[in-house]
Each structure stands twice: as structure tokens, then as C-alpha cells.
Amino acid sequence: MIISLLDYGAGNVRSIVNAVEKLGGTVKEVKKPSDILDAEKLLFPGVGNYENMIKILNRKNYVRPLREYLQADRPFLGICLGMQALFEGSEEDFSGNESLGIFKGRVTRFKTGLAVPHIGWNGVNLKKDSPVFKGISADTKFYFVHSYHVVPEDESVILTTTNYDYDFVSSVQKGSIIGTQFHPEKSGDAGIRLLENFMTQKDLRAGRDVDIRGKGLSKRIIACLDVRTNDQGDLVVTKGDQYDVRQEGNVRNLGKPVELARRYYEEGADEITFLNITGFRDFPLKDMPMIEVLERTSQNVFVPLTIGGGIRDYTDKRGKTYTALDVATQYFRSGADKVSIGSDAVLIAEDYVKTKKKTGTSSIEQISRVYGNQAVVVSIDPRRVYVASPDEAKHHHVMRTRFPGPHHEVYCWYQCTVSGGREGRDMDAVTLAKVCEELGAGEILLNCIDKDGTNSGFDLELIDAVKKAVSIPVIASSGAGCEDHFAKVFETTDAEAALAAGIFHRKEVPIQIVKQYLADRDIPVRL
Ligand code: 1PR
């Protein structure tokens, strides 16, 4: 089966290619307008920013052949932006570029008090008996990562809806034209099954109307792999103990990144995060170790991949400069869905607090403008600082704590650090999170140096304070030691996800046991 892939240059096409090839298909990349009308079946994965995508489609003269292909009702699967492009325009496009206009209606931003972007595993309510959902059970969850959704004028094109504060349209179908807001290539076995149906079904047209309800948004369990080279120069998965990765002088070696990532995927991790923990001093594109890790991992792991470490502007030894966008683009092309910015975000926020001005050139702004804010995670490395009274740290977010300090202080603030916790900065975690949201970050990875690797549980006070300060999703991180620690963080804070490393690397508690424990307490998870 030859599948033509419309890659407009900002999508993460590697995962789609890997999924199609895993299903025995062959991918033919669309390189010129005539390739579109030559296609047997056309896949259009769209990730990033709507305006950027539409501008590129027009610049490449793809709009006319695409319209002709679609008006002939030929087999088409649009994913995320690839579905949104079928409509007449989007609120995300401030220049009012001409869209494909195959379906009447527009794309609108979520209007909800819940976190936006809508990120995670959510159910679908099936409205038509469609061959693309053949063999997929009603309680299946798919991976979503978006801030906008389509609003069709003609409700007969609605294939599924999904609930996120309200029911929004999560997939559409008219004849052989199908669009999904969720990412099948990132939705594990169910997503692969949907792609297989699209590839193999001769007649894709939907049958009778049905009304089968799905389940709601799950809390995400994320496996994190801290990666660096050891003293012998091998790239290993390591683990800090309050950010100290050495044991008897050697870098802890917990295994190989690609193998461990595949194990966690098979164990049911909802996402995998790689953090290149010496990225602050190495040039991430130098000899490309993490690029290869991503390329090899994305061949067999079909859930979202985040990569962090060293995402910022660089000037190499020969004076050649690389922007953070260049670095991120390499990672996206290699299979990453999100990039995580740590140290650079602190420096950017310090400047913003001083000038109150957006430069437009910060790594957060550069990358979210092209790939969408859902592709930009800010990783915060805070440590607790105790103070006798809030007056001691006036310009920081000081809070009362239930865990008094060494001198019985009942107030504390969380100092941000850079370079892997090596340098404290004059910035607190709550302020950093708020500024980064303002600059376009789509998610916060909230670590905690004091809790990292201690198995003593998450710092619930820190997580609650940051979550209350932003309207983007927050990933709780650091300290997980047993399955109840995950239940506590979801029962006492609104964190959308929980990340762990040591507990999984040391095989203390398998991911499925954590998830089953949460499900037994009616905490929504993807089993
Ligand atoms: O500053 O943009 O180059 O990014 C560096 C990235 O590497 C940041 O995301 C930073 O958090 C991470 N990092 C840097 N040094 C270390 C270290 O450990 N020496 N990892 C490090 C920090 C955070 C999680 C950790 C969880 C779970 N680790 O990866 O695993 O806290 O902990 P758990 O084992 O208790 O479950 P830049």
C-alpha cells in the first residue's frame, strides 16, 4: 500500500512514516503539487501553528491540487492541523489566509476554565459507524495536543466528539475524507489500528449513525530518562539523587535510552521524556547522540516523545550560530513531539521581568510561533528556600509551608536554578511559570531538587502553588516512591500529569501497577 504523505515542513512526520512502515506500507513524500493528484491515499499530518501551515500550503501551490483531490472524494486522512485545514479558516490565523474550505465552518480556540492546550489521552463519542474505527473499542483513548478545535456548520460531517469541559468535534468524515484532531501515530495500538484501517479499507465511507459514548481525559503517567555520556563516553540513562548523578565517583548507569524507552512504552507509559542533562554545556547537535536516540526510539514507540537539554541559541567554536529553533527543528524532524527548555527559560524570564517586554526572539517565542505552544515545555528546577517571614523575599512568591525549616521557619519560596541545579538564580518557580506561559510555553515540567530521587513523594505545596498560577498543563515531577504518591498528587492538586524516573528505572513499581492503583481510586487513567 503506497501512502502519499503531505509534509509541509513543520510537522513531526517521522512518527507517521514509522507507523505506516510498521504496518507494511510504503510512504511516498509529496514533493511537488502534481504528487497530490497522483496519490492513491493521502495523509496530511499537521503539527504546529495554523497560520504558518496555511502560508506554506499556499506558497507551495498545494491548495488547488488538494481541493481537486478532495472534491473528487478521494481517500484522505488529515491529522490535527491537517483536519483543521479542511475548513474555512481559523482564529489562530491572524492574516486570514485562504484555507481549503472543503467543510463549512471555522476553527476556534477552546473556551474553557480548564488548562489549554488540551493535552493528553481522552475518549471519543462515536457518531457514525465508520470503517476507520473498525476493531477499536468504545473505551479507547486517543492522544490530543491542541488549543483549537473545528466547529462544522453541517453537523452531518461529525464522526466523533470528545468531552473537555464541553463536547467538541474530535474527528470528521464525509465520504472518503477523514480528519482527526487527535494523533493516531501517537495513540499507541488503537491509533496504529485506525491508521491500518485507513490504509487497508477499500471503501472508507461511513455507514449508519450511532451514538457510543467514550471516557474522559486521563491523568498522564510519564516516564523520564535523564541521559548523559558517562566517563567512558557512552550515552547512558542516569539518575540524580537531588541532581547528583554520581555514585562512588561514577555516573550511575541505568541502561540504554532506546531500550528503556521501548520498555516503558510497552509497560503503558503515556509519554516518554528524554532530558540531556549535560545539554547546558554541550552543543546538542554535536555528533547528534540525542538525534539518533530519537530516530531509533520513534521507530517503535507510538506515544509522545519530549526532548530537553541544551535547547537555546548556540554559537559553535567556528563562530557559526544556531538558533534554538534550529536545534528544536532537528529534534522535531527526528521524532520529538515536544521540546523542553530549562536553563534558557530562567534567563529569558529574568530579562522579561526587568524589561516587561517580549523580544520575539526568545527560544520560547521562536519555537511556539512555528510549532505551536503545545510543542514547548518549560522544565523548572527549583529548590526550597526557607525564610522567617515574607518580608525577607519581597519580590518572590513566598508561601506558608506545613514542613518547617531547620530554624523552624514556616515560610519558604522556591528558587529556580540553571545548569542542572548548579546555579541558583534570583527567580522563583511561580513567577517563572507565569512568565513562560505569557511568552507562549504550552506546558510546565515542574521538578523539585529537594525531592528528586528521594522516594519521599512529590512536593505537593510547590505543585499546587504553580498549578494555581497558570492555565497551561503542569507535570508534577520528583520524588515518586510508591503508587500512593501518584494518587496523592492527583487528589490534592490539579496537576494533569505525573512524571517519574527512579521508581521505574529501579523497577520498584511497574507503570501498570501505578495506573491500576489510580483506577481503583477513580482517578481517570489510560489502562
Ligand atoms: O537546562 O535546558 O539544558 O535542560 C536540562 C534538563 O535536564 C532540565 O529539564 C533539567 O531538569 C534536567 N537536569 C539537569 N541536570 C539534572 C540532574 O539530575 N543532574 N535532571 C537534570 C533533573 C529531573 C527529572 C527527574 C525527576 C524524577 N531531573 O528528570 O528524573 O525529577 O525524579 P524521581 O527519580 O524522583 O522520580 P537545559
Nearest-atom number in ligand 1 for the CA of 343 is 1
Buried b (16+ CB within 10 A) or exposed e, 358-384: eeeebbbbbbbbbbbbbbbbbbbbbbb
Residue of minimum CA distance from atom 5 in ligand 1 = 309
The residue among 444 and 290 whose pLDDT is bigger is 444
**Residue tagged active-site, from 118, 146, 149, 183:** 183
Cβ-proximal residues to 278 (8 Å cutoff; 6+ apart), any chain: 228, 229, 309, 420
Mutate to test the pocket of ligand 1, among 381, 482, 489 (most ligand atoms within 8 A of CB): 381
The C-alpha cell at 134 is 473498525
Taking only the tens place, the pLDDT of each residue in 91-121 is: 988 888 889 999 999 999 999 999 999 999 9
* Cα distance between residue 264 and residue 304, in whole Å: 12
Residue of minimum CA distance from atom 32 in ligand 1 = 478
Residue of minimum CA distance from atom 16 in ligand 1 = 420
Kindly report the average pLDDT of the chain as a whole number: 94
Taking only the tens place, the pLDDT of each residue in 224-275 is: 999 988 888 888 888 888 888 898 898 888 889 999 999 999 999 999 999 9
The C-alpha cell at 181 is 484532531
**Residue tagged active-site, from 7, 92, 93, 185:** 185
Whether residue 194 contacts residue 124, with contact meaning beta carbons closer than 8 Å, is answered with no
Taking only the tens place, the pLDDT of each residue in 191-225 is: 999 999 999 999 999 999 999 988 899 999 999 99
DSSP 392-445: GGTTS--EE-SS--TT---EEEEEEEETTTTEEEEEEHHHHHHHHHHHT--EEE
Whether residue 147 contacts residue 437, with contact meaning beta carbons closer than 8 Å, is answered with no
- List Cα–Cα distances, 115 to 119, 248, 298, 366, 472, in angstroms: 9, 43, 27, 22, 5
Question: For residue 226, what are the β-bridge partners?
Answer: 238, 275
Is any atom of ligand 1 closer than 6 Å to the C-beta of 214?
A: no
Residues shown for the chain: 527
Read off the pLDDT of each residue in 126-145 and give the average, rounded to a whole number: 94
Is any atom of ligand 1 closer than 6 Å to the C-beta of 277?
A: yes
Is any atom of ligand 1 closer than 6 Å to the C-beta of 238?
A: no
CB atoms within 10 A of CB 238: 24
Nearest-atom number in ligand 1 for the CA of 226 is 29
Whether 15 shows a pLDDT value over 80: the answer reads yes
Cα 347 to chain center, whole Å?
Answer: 23
* Cα distance between residue 439 and residue 360, in whole Å: 9
Q: What is the pLDDT of residue 288?
A: 66
Is any atom of ligand 1 closer than 6 Å to the C-beta of 503?
A: yes
Is any atom of ligand 1 closer than 6 Å to the C-beta of 481?
A: no
Crossing angle of helices 13-22 and 188-200, in 10° steps, is 70
- Residue at 6: amino acid letter: L
Whether 280 shows a pLDDT value over 90: the answer reads no
Four-residue CA torsion sign, 64, 70, 74, 76: positive
Confidence of residue 11 (pLDDT cuts 50, 70, 90): low
Cα torsion through 234, 238, 244, 247, rounded to 10: -70
In this prediction the pTM is 0.94
Q: What is the pLDDT of residue 251?
A: 86
Q: What is the pLDDT of residue 287?
A: 55
Q: Per mean pLDDT, which range of 125-139, 274-288, 320-334, 477-491 is the poorest?
A: 274-288
* Cα distance between residue 474 and residue 452, in whole Å: 17
- List Cα–Cα distances, 85 to 64, 101, 185, 254, 392, in angstroms: 13, 8, 19, 44, 53
Nearest-atom number in ligand 1 for the CA of 454 is 35
Cβ-proximal residues to 485 (8 Å cutoff; 6+ apart), any chain: 457, 458, 479
* Cα distance between residue 17 and residue 45, in whole Å: 10
- Structural domains in the chain, CATH included, are 2-200 (3.40.50.880), 220-520 (3.20.20.70)
Mutate to test the pocket of ligand 1, among 221, 222, 226, 451 (most ligand atoms within 8 A of CB): 226
Q: What is the pLDDT of residue 87?
A: 97
Q: What is the pLDDT of residue 115?
A: 94
- Can you list the positions of beta strands (E) in 165-245? 166-174, 177-180, 209-212, 220-229, 235-238
Q: What is the pLDDT of residue 49?
A: 83
DSSP letter at 7? -
